[in-house]
Amino acid sequence: MSFSLSGKVAIITGANQGLGLEISRKYVNAGASIVICARNGDLLTRAQKELIIGLAPGQVVEMATTDVSDSQGVGQLVKATLQRFSRIDILVNNAGIYGPMGPIEEVDWAQWIRAIEINLLGSILMCRAVLPTMKGQQKGKIIQLSGGGATNPMPNVSAYAVSKAAIVRFSETLAEEMRDFNVDVNAIAPGPLNSRMLDEVLAAGPEKVGQAFFDKSIKQKESGGASFHQGAELAVFLASDASNGITGKLISALWDDWEQWPKHLDELRASDAYTLRRIAGRDRGISWGDK
């Protein structure tokens, strides 16, 4: 399906490579003007040069070297975006790192905290900065990148797992805060991507990440992993008017038939499906565990 973002303005973090760059391509192809940001200015410049090729009249691709964990830098990014476009319709919080790998008592604590600052606090800072504008517009879309760390334990990659689970619960909470302002907030699980982060796991080796995770990563590398296209297509859908009213959900790009969801808005709103919830014994056929 094709979803239009014509006339919309989006900020996309971590947009200089990988999934963030693919989302940026899809947004431009869908008609949006975008502001891409990341910490690596050289890669960001290269990405901008690619993205501006073939822009339609009126479309713009701006770039800003930004550390999303720095509140001053985030504020400057949002201020500059508003000065350039006078609106912000979409925020994609894609910036993220794995952080240190190894048993929690052995990893460098400063690096562990740094991963939380980038993955979790950085996305929250970005939300805080754009929300006044979206509230004033009475409309907006916020898309958080989560993933396997939110739904499964990840031994020896604890900072990543903790931050990604927290992102989902923050998204659910923010969705409720923003419901009366027509700001939809959702999280995406893009699937196992063959990105620089996978290369970091392979470089760390089984001694750091554990034999099982290392072997799984080797198989993923050999198979090609999930397509960047699927995650980026979901990000376009969630940014478009076609997804209006879908909010507070963790959505798998690979396994969920999200294109059909607009037909079932009332059912989605009334259900805790596609959210983080505790599984009780009765949910698994255990008769002795619950009162």
User: What is the set of active-site residues?
Assistant: 146, 160, 164
Query: Up-side HSE of residue 9: CA atoms within 13 Å toward CB?
Result: 20
Query: Up-side HSE of residue 49: CA atoms within 13 Å toward CB?
Result: 6
Backbone angles phi, psi at 144, to 5 degrees: -105, 140
Residue 252: strand pairing partners:
189
Give yes or no for a contact between 95 and 24, defined as CB atoms under 8 angstroms apart.
Answer: no
Give the end-to-end CA distance of the chain in Å, rounded to a whole number: 47
Tokens of 176: 């409720």
What ranges make up the beta strands (E) of 58-130?
A: 61-65, 90-93
271 phi-psi bin (left φ>0, alpha ψ -120 to 50, beta other): beta
